[in-house]
Amino acid sequence: MIRARVVHAVLQCAPMDGPAPPRALAAADLAALLSVTRALAAPFDLRAMLGEVVSAAKQVLHADRGSVWLHDAATDELVLEVATGIAPVRVPSGRGLVGACAHQRAIINVPDCYADARFDSRVDRESGYRTRCMLTLPLVDHRDELVGVMQVLNKADGVFDDYDETLASALAAQCAVALQRARMTDAIIEGEKMRQALEMARVVQMSTLPTVMPSVPGYDIHGTFIPAELTGGDAFDLAFVGERLLVVLADATGHGIAPALSVTQMQAMLRMAFRLGADLDTVFRQVNNRLSETLAADRFITAFVGVLDPTTHRLAFHSGGQGPILVYRAATGSWERHRPTSFPMGAMAVDTVRPAMTLALEPGDIVLLASDGIPEYENGDGEQFGDERVCATVASHGGEPAAAIIDALLAAVRSFAGSAPQDDDMTAVVVRREGTSAATAGDEGRIIRRTFERTFDALAQMVDFTAESFDRLAIDPRHRPTADLVIEELFTNMVKYGTGSAMPVELGFEPSLDGVRIVLVDRDVDPFDIRRSREVDIHAPIDERVPGGLGLHLIRRMASSIDYDYDPERRESRIAVLLAGKQ
Amino acid sequence: MLTIETGPDGVIVVAGRLDAAQAQAAQTFLDGVAGTATLDCAKLEYISSAGLGVLLKTQKRLLGSGGKLRLAGLSPHLRDIFVYSGFDQLFEIDPAA
């Protein structure tokens, strides 16, 4: 194959119907060309290949010296990677003999260099060599791309002639292909090295994650890390420091090896500092300051660093840029959002830090930490999963084990994202205090709330949640079928007509003296007062009866009272239906 | 969950929850019913307007061909719903199951 191409190249350079070549190809020269070609077919790396090409050119053209300039397409410069006795140098395309050759993609044969204005004699001055004559050839590969420029200097017995140009052209075509092949091989090897380095960084990153979740009396704690295909810099840690538990979730900026390693470094610093007995404020400040010394100026790590005391049920924390910190309060069924306490770690050194924040955890409360790979996961339409969906998903699995809560969250993200790829690491940590807020049963004004996705599929979950809430709040079960009806009718209405809203629907129960108040909150919707909806003529003949409007009609008949509020600023409808007395 | 099937005596037995999620399944079954049929609701725990819509559509169809749907075994809660919706006037409701 290669042999045939050489001959073809030679023939092309010496066409039969054009001007006759000055002399026929000497058998010795053809043999030299072919042996060079065979040599070039060997799997050299780029540097070796350049040396091989130069020595081939010298041999075939009887030249004293040779050099190959590689074309850097990114900068459109020619780079002298290797040359016999000449230091590397870069020349813009178009300048000098090399640049002109690259630009014109044509052979330039200069018999007397010092008589040619394009010749740059600086190289000679620096090297002490005297260039007499020079042949400059473009190296163009089989896809017609400029690979570089080859120069041969000082023919042994005179100047380069037409015959040499023909030989050189044949050689150049082979050199170009061989060089391009070596270049691509190098790029692949480089890519493979990078991939292996990334993989190694990943192994280091993963190895620092807890393999077994800590067993903390009265708590259910779980962390999960789902790496992105390339890299991110997420990590979490759950480790005992004496009787207390260190809770960390961190996300180093950027992609590549650096964030994976810097987050690992931070994690090691934290564990060591706490084990040496340092307090939270000191640890946070010291680790921040050490990181700011070691991280590059444009790098930082967002990190939640907390210490849970399982006897006092207090979670003290600093959060450098990691947030929001979401806290589910079981007693009210509501969410608290805490902002980061300071800027990301490693961004700059500080002398003092604000005192740590403290959360008091009640039975059933959940602290959720999630790296931004979760709320910022985009679906095919470029829409992000968002904090609201994070809260809604976690709240609707609030009573489940921490691992199940995280599984449900990640499943919800995947179902939202569809086939959209995961661009960033996803990490979540759930700290759930065991027990339910039923410990406070008997208190006035207790409300249980949960949010549900705006789909008909959520109905079954609402029925389960209603049963659970009736149990927990000790509501008379005779209200159950009517409660189910009220919820189904109102919720299906919301799903059918609130199509412009992506917000979940909140359902809440509040026990009343002899019944229950059911509250549904519909967000980002137009007002719709069910008290003013169309009346149904229940005495109409069957031909005139239609199912529409029947649900709201039934609610009006069966409810003890209905309240409706609309907040135009938040575009929020709140419907409260009281079921009381004998149902 | 909802089950709906014809018993050995020709009575259609419906059990479980006839809600929005199950309405289509019930409709598909009742579309295959002809003539006059009795629907035993003793094990029907729950019905919403979606379920009432299914019964209404079936009744209109059967009445059009000279048949009808009779209901039996309604719990007090279901009976209330039939009364509040005026469906007690559209269906013959047997007092006992």
Please say which residue of A402, A418, A440 terminates a domain. A440
Is A460 in Cβ contact with B56 (below 8 Å)? Answer: no
Contact yes or no for A186/A46 (Cβ under 8 A): yes
> Which positions in chain B touch A483 (Cβ < 8 Å)?
none
Of residues A370, A322, A431, A391, the one with CA closest to residue A225? A370
The pTM score is: 0.47
The Cα of A566 is separated from the nearest Cα of chain B by a number of Å equal to: 25
In this prediction, residue A440 carries a pLDDT of 41
Label residue A433 by pLDDT band (50, 70, 90).
Answer: very high
Cβ of B85 and A536 within 8 Å? yes
pLDDT number for residue A16: 38
Residues from chain B contacting residue A484 (CB–CB below 8 Å) = 19, 46, 48
What pLDDT shows up at residue A23? 60
CATH code of A500's domain: 3.30.565.10
A492·B85 Cβ contact <8 A: no
Band the pLDDT of A224: cuts 50, 70, 90: very high
Q: Which helix (H) or strand (E) holds B38?
A: strand B36-47
> How many folded domains does chain A comprise?
3
Query: Whole-number mean pLDDT of chain A?
Result: 84
Report the pLDDT averaged over residues A120-140.
87
Q: Tell me whether A542 touches chain B (CB under 8 Å).
A: yes
Q: What is the mean pLDDT of residues A257-276?
A: 84
Q: For the residues A412-419, what does the mean pLDDT come to?
A: 92
Are residues A136 and A158 part of one domain?
Answer: yes
Which residues of A fall within a CB distance of 8 Å from B45? 481
What is the DSSP annotation of A512-525?
ETTEEEEEEEEES-
Distance from CA of B7 to the nearest CA of A (A): 26
Q: What is the pLDDT of residues A527-552, one digit of tens each?
A: 888 888 888 888 889 988 888 889 99
Enumerate residues 6+ apart whose C-beta is below 8 A from A1: none
Structural domain contains residue A243: yes
CA distance A251 to A503: 28
* CA–centroid distance for A355 within its chain: 33
A485–B48 CB contact, under 8 Å: yes
Inter-chain touch A536–B53, beta carbons under 8 Å: no
Testing the interface with A: which of B19, B47, B54, B63 to mutate, by most A Cβ within 10 A? B19
Q: Checking DSSP bridges between strand B12-18 and strand B36-47, what pairing results, if any?
A: parallel
A406 and A483 housed in the same domain = no
Collapse the DSSP code of A260 into the 3-class scheme (helix H, G, I; strand E, B; otherwise coil) and give the result. Answer: helix
Do A457 and A343 have their domain in common? no
Nearest CA to A308 among A369, A260, A262?
Answer: A369
| Closest residue to B81, CB basis, from A488, A539, A554 | A554
Indicate yes or no: CB of B86 within 8 angstroms of CB of A542: no
- Domain boundary among the residues A405, A440, A475 is at A440
Looking at the complex, does the CB of residue A456 fall below 8 Å from at least one CB of chain B? yes
pLDDT value for A441: 40
Amino acid at A78: L
User: Would residue A195 count as lying in a domain?
Assistant: no
- Which one of A481, A492, A550 has the shortest CB-CB distance to B85? A550
Percentage with pLDDT > 70 across chain A: 90
Contact A459 B20 (CB under 8 A): yes
Domain count, chain B: 1
Q: What is the pLDDT of residue A133?
A: 95
User: A235 pairs with which residues across the strands?
Assistant: A250
CATH number of the domain enclosing A83: 3.30.450.40
Answer yes or no: do A485 and B63 touch at CB < 8 A: no
Residue A396 shares a structural domain with residue A456: no
Enclosing domain of residue A58: 2-187
A440-491 tens-digit pLDDT: 444 445 778 888 989 888 999 999 999 999 998 888 898 999 999 999 999 9
* Rounded distance between C-alpha atoms, residue A279 and residue A273, angstroms: 9
Q: Is A231 found in the same domain as A247?
A: yes
Structure tokens given for A5:
């191409």
Preferred mutation among B2, B44, B48 to probe A, highest tally of A CBs within 10 A: B48
**A435 and A450 in one domain?**
no
Whether the per-residue pLDDT at A375 is higher than 90: the answer is yes
pLDDT, mean of residues A17-32? 60
- Tell me which residue has tokens 């023939």: A11
Residue numbers of B between 62 and 81 with CB closer than 8 Å to A? 63, 77, 80-81
Residue B66 tokens, joined: 């000279």
Same domain membership, residue A257 and residue A239: yes
For residues B87-94, give the mean pLDDT.
92
Q: What's the CATH code of the domain at B35?
A: 3.30.750.24
CA dihedral defined by A419, A420, A422, A428, rounded to 10 degrees?
A: -80
Q: Look at residue A83 and tell me if it is in a domain.
A: yes
Chain B residues lying within 8 Å of A486, measured CB to CB: none
CATH number at residue A303: 3.60.40.10
Query: Is residue A40 assigned to a domain?
Result: yes
The answer to whether residue A5 scores a pLDDT higher than 60 is no
Is a pLDDT exceeding 80 seen at residue A336? Answer: yes
> B48 and A536 in contact by Cβ < 8 A?
no
Is residue A337 included in any domain, yes or no?
yes
Of A459, A543, A553, the CB nearest to B85: A553
| Location of structure tokens 């052979």 | A107
| Closest chain A residue to B85, measured at CA | A538
Residue A565 phi, psi (nearest 5):
-130, 145
**Chain A residues inside the 8 Å CB shell of B89:** 538-539
H helix runs in A498-574, sequence order: 550-558
- Contacts A–B by Cβ distance under 8 A: 68
pLDDT at B97: 41
- Residue A456 and residue B21: Cβ atoms within 8 Å? yes
Identify the pLDDT of residue A15: 36
Neighbours of B5 (CB within 10 A): 9
For residue A114, is it within any domain?
A: yes
Question: Residue A86: is its pLDDT beyond 60?
Answer: no
Q: Is A555 on the interface with B (CB under 8 A)?
A: no
Using CA of residue A252, residue A256, residue A260, residue A263, what is the dihedral sign?
negative
Q: What is the pLDDT of residue A124?
A: 83
Return d(Cα A377, Cα A386) in angstroms, integer: 8
Residue A203 belongs to some domain of the structure: no
Task: Give the chain A residue whose CA is nearest to the CA of B54.
Answer: A547
Contact flag A481-B63 (C-beta cutoff 8 Å): no
- Is residue A277 domain-shared with residue A136, that is, in the same domain? no
- DSSP symbols for A155-217: ETTS---HHHHHHHHHHHHHHHHHHHHHHHHHHHHHHHHHHHHHHHHHHHHHHTS-SS----T
* Residue B67 lies in domain: 2-93
Q: Considering only CB atoms, which chain A residues are within 8 Å of B69?
A: none
Looking at residue A88, its pLDDT comes to 64
A539: closest chain B residue by CA: B86
Report the pLDDT averaged over residues A257-285. Answer: 86
Cα-Cα-Cα-Cα torsion A561, A567, A571, A577, nearest 10 degrees, comes to -10
pLDDT beyond 70 at A18? no
Is residue A575 classed as helix, strand or coil in its secondary structure? strand
pLDDT in the model for residue A7: 33
Same domain, A232 and A337: yes
CA distances from A197 to A189, A200, A288, A566 (A): 12, 5, 27, 57
Task: Please tell me which residue of chain A has the smallest CA distance to B90.
Answer: A542
| pLDDT in the model for residue A9 | 34
B24 near A CB under 8 A: no
Cβ–Cβ gap B89/A539 under 8 Å:
yes
Chain A interface, mutation test: which of B85, B88, B89, most A Cβ atoms within 10 Å?
A: B85
A414 — pLDDT class (breaks 50, 70, 90): very high
Q: Confirm whether A295 is domain-assigned.
A: yes
How close A357 gets to chain B, by Cα (Å)? 46
- The residue of chain B nearest to residue A537, with distances taken between CA atoms, is B86
Would an 8 Å CB–CB cutoff place A144 in contact with chain B? no
CA distances from B32 to A328, A370, B13, B25 (A): 50, 52, 14, 12
Burial (CB count <10 Å: 0-12, 13-18, 19+), residue A523: buried
Same domain, A129 and A225: no
Say whether residue B43 is in contact with chain A using an 8 A CB cutoff: no
Chain B residue numbers touching A545 (CB-CB < 8 A): 56, 86, 90
